[in-house]
Amino acid sequence: MKLPKTYGYLKKDLEVIEEALNQTIQAEHPVLRQASIDLLNAGGKRIRPVFVILAGQLGDYDAESISKAAVALELIHMATLVHDDVIDEATLRRGKPTIKHLYGNRIAMYTGDYILARALEEVTTINNPKAHRVLSKALVEVAIGEIDQIQDKFNWEQNLRDYLRRIKRKTALLIATSCQLGALLSGLSDKEVKLLYRYGYYIGMSYQIIDDILDFTETAKQLGKPAGNDLLQGNITLPVLYAIRDREFNEMVQEVFKKPDLIQSDDMKLVINTLKQTDAIRKSYELSDMYLKKALDTLNELPNSKSKITLQTIAKYIGRRRV
Amino acid sequence: MNEITLYKEIIENKTNHDFLRKTIHKPVIDEDKLFILLKLIPKDTASAQTNRDVYIITTMLVQVALDTHELVMDNDDNETDDEKLVKQLYVLAGDYYSGLYYYLLSEIDDLTFIHKLASAIKAINERKMKLYYGEYETFSEYTSLKVEVESLLIETVANYFQHIDFIDCVKQWQYIKLLSKEKERIVNDEILLNSMMDSKKTNPYMTAEDKFSSIIQREWTSFNNKLMKLPHSTTDLQSYFNQKMVDHVYRNTLNAEEG
């Protein structure tokens, strides 16, 4: 089953959000407009809007504010991606040319700043101070997480805690915030808001761990980027952290990464194959499963509803997802 | 410690991050804009002193974020690893400062001010696109875009605090600074934007430098007159810009002529 099928019944809500996203990025300048539209059309699972809607449906659903929050979160995510592509010098995203590749770094910077500004313009029409404190704090944390990621590049001394803190900021926080905002805007109790935040956090952690696993287990065609690309960029992810406990892998990877600029695709194949020989993938899945279990346990404390069942299904799907 | 130094220190502390500080330089804070903000938001205007601080700091954070992102250049094939790292951190530092502006204003629940600054950022980026693609035909169109990029943020704050009489002054000061920079570039043979100047308005027998000097002098006189007419005009406002004119505009001119 594909992830979108699990929330197929949200089609109408998501269409409203898609239309709002499209309206929001209609810049005056043709290149700015086109760059933003290209980014929007590049797809994506719209997982953040889905979480805002589902959490919102657990309380008194206010379609207008839920839609605005969902749009803002997706735009914030999009703005981050445009700037990430400048950082990673990425030419492709989801198999399509990046804005940085098509128009250059400067235009990518302007597009990201423009999209973020549009997100803030939209979201500040929601009159809920607490929601803004939550969202703005998440935005700052996400930026710090990105800086940490740069700082930790090729740092073979980092530990599991460093990795978990980084992926919390990089991925889990925005998903947790999506759930939290949906809950806040539909008037759920403090306890329920907290539970949904935790659900989003656990799901986000698991989602990123699986992303990091797939970077080694899937093909370039499936990923839309070279396999092992994260490691090639210097990002030490969970499978690598587990694998370097294996002496053979550790020695080999240290040797290959003495000169990262000179690494060939055959070198990466060797690294990936050797990593797969270790227990790193299995152990990474185990940690991901532990987060998913925690996510499901958290949901048990919420009253039964269709949305809750969907949140459970999403959690189960994430554990099995391939790309 | 004067107010400018004090606020510069506060902003530097707010934006402090160990790794950023180690790898890239401190954010450059535009003193002119900071000074104008201090005058624009007098102590008795904002509801409380703490809020005045937040308005000034957050506006400057937005400015610093935009300025930091301007340091990200298009790709250079010969970029070293260190240059690449600096570029990556300029991207992230700008994003971090933007996040801080939203965060600090959400702490005082001023959603309207967040919204207004976001609208200004949007408008500034629209104009930056035009400048990037050289979408101007006359010198006047070029300067107008440049001045808007530099003054839209302060204009937004002036509107918010209902000090619209400041807006003309801010724009004119940015125009004077721009002209002085362009004059310097002409003297250094870097770019000959004067070829785009409307020949009807200037004497065809004047050199490019003289044309610029003449316009700068005219704008400076007009700027001073406007400054004196401001209802909240104070002697420190005038003496600040007088000093800046001497330090910045005349010194640039002098350096360029000597060079």
Percent of chain B with pLDDT strictly greater than 90: 60
From B210's Cα to the closest Cα of chain A, the distance in A is 34
CB-based contact A105 B72, cutoff 8 Å: yes
Would you state the pLDDT for residue A95? Answer: 78
For an interface test with B, give the residue of A31, A101, A105, A155 to mutate (most B CBs within 10 A): A105
Nearest CB to A139; choose among B73, B102, B128: B102
Contact residues, chain B, for A89 at CB < 8 Å: 75, 84
What is the DSSP code string of B164-177? Answer: THHHHHHHHHHHHH
Mean pLDDT over B182-201 rounds to 61
Q: State in Å, rounded, how far the first CA of chain B is from the last one.
A: 35
From A290's Cα to the closest Cα of chain B, the distance in A is 32
Percent of chain B with pLDDT strictly greater than 70: 83
Q: Encoding tokens for residue B253?
A: 């001119």
Would you state the pLDDT for residue A219? Answer: 81
pLDDT over 90 (residue B40): no
Would you place residue B49 in the very low, low, confident or very high pLDDT band (cuts 50, 70, 90)?
low
Would you state the pLDDT for residue A108? Answer: 97
CA-based nearest residue in chain A for residue B123: A114
Q: Is B94 in contact with B69 (CB distance < 8 Å)?
A: yes
From B59's Cα to the closest Cα of chain A, the distance in A is 14
Nearest CB to A136; choose among B66, B102, B119: B102
CA-based nearest residue in chain B for residue A127: B111
Would you state the pLDDT for residue A4? Answer: 65
Would you state the pLDDT for residue B227? Answer: 86
Give which of A89, A237, A245, A83 is closest to A166, Cα–Cα: A237
- List all residues 6 or more positions away from A48 whose beta carbon is below 8 Å from its beta carbon: A70, A73, A74, A77, A174, A175, A178
Secondary structure element (H or E) that encloses residue A32, with its range: helix A30-41
Secondary structure element (H or E) that encloses residue A152, with its range: none
Number of separate domains in chain A: 1
Largest CA distance in chain A: 58
Tell me how far CA of residue B167 lies from CA of A75, A238, B55, B151, in angstroms. Answer: 32, 54, 17, 8
CA-based nearest residue in chain B for residue A129: B109
Nearest CB to B107; choose among A83, A125, A133: A133
CB-based contact A83 B118, cutoff 8 Å: no
CB-based contact B129 A110, cutoff 8 Å: yes
From A168's Cα to the closest Cα of chain B, the distance in A is 17
pLDDT over 80 (residue B179): yes
What is the DSSP code string of B93-157? Answer: HHHHHHHHHHHHHHHTT-HHHHHHHHHHHHHHHHHHHHHHTT--SSHHHHHHHHHHHHHHHHHHH
Would you state the pLDDT for residue B259? Answer: 43
Would you state the pLDDT for residue B256? Answer: 47
| Inter-chain contacts counted by CB atoms under 8 A, chains A and B | 135
Rounded-to-integer distance, Cα A107 and Cα A100, Å = 7
pLDDT over 70 (residue B252): no
CB-based contact B115 A124, cutoff 8 Å: yes
Give which of B3, B13, B109, B23 is closest to B61, Cα–Cα: B13
Mean pLDDT over B182-190 rounds to 72
Q: Encoding tokens for residue A42?
A: 């590049």
Residues A164-198 have pLDDT tens digits of 999 999 999 999 999 999 999 999 999 999 999 99
Summary mean pLDDT of chain B = 86
Nearest CB to B72; choose among A106, A117, A146: A106
Q: Encoding tokens for residue A294?
A: 């925690």
Q: Encoding tokens for residue A226?
A: 């070279």
Would you state the pLDDT for residue A183? Answer: 98
Segments of chain A with pLDDT less than 50: none
Beta-strand runs (E) in chain A: 92-93, 96-97
Nearest CB to B92; choose among A118, A143, A261: A143
Residues B81-109 have pLDDT tens digits of 899 999 999 999 999 999 999 999 999 99
Contact residues, chain B, for A129 at CB < 8 Å: 106, 109, 111
Would you state the pLDDT for residue A13? Answer: 92
CATH number at residue A167: 1.10.600.10
Nearest CB to A118; choose among B72, B89, B122: B122
Domain of A129 in residue numbering reads as: 3-319
Contact residues, chain B, for A112 at CB < 8 Å: 95
Rounded-to-integer distance, Cα A287 and Cα A99, Å = 35
pLDDT over 60 (residue B202): no
Contact residues, chain A, for B92 at CB < 8 Å: 83, 87, 143, 146-147, 150
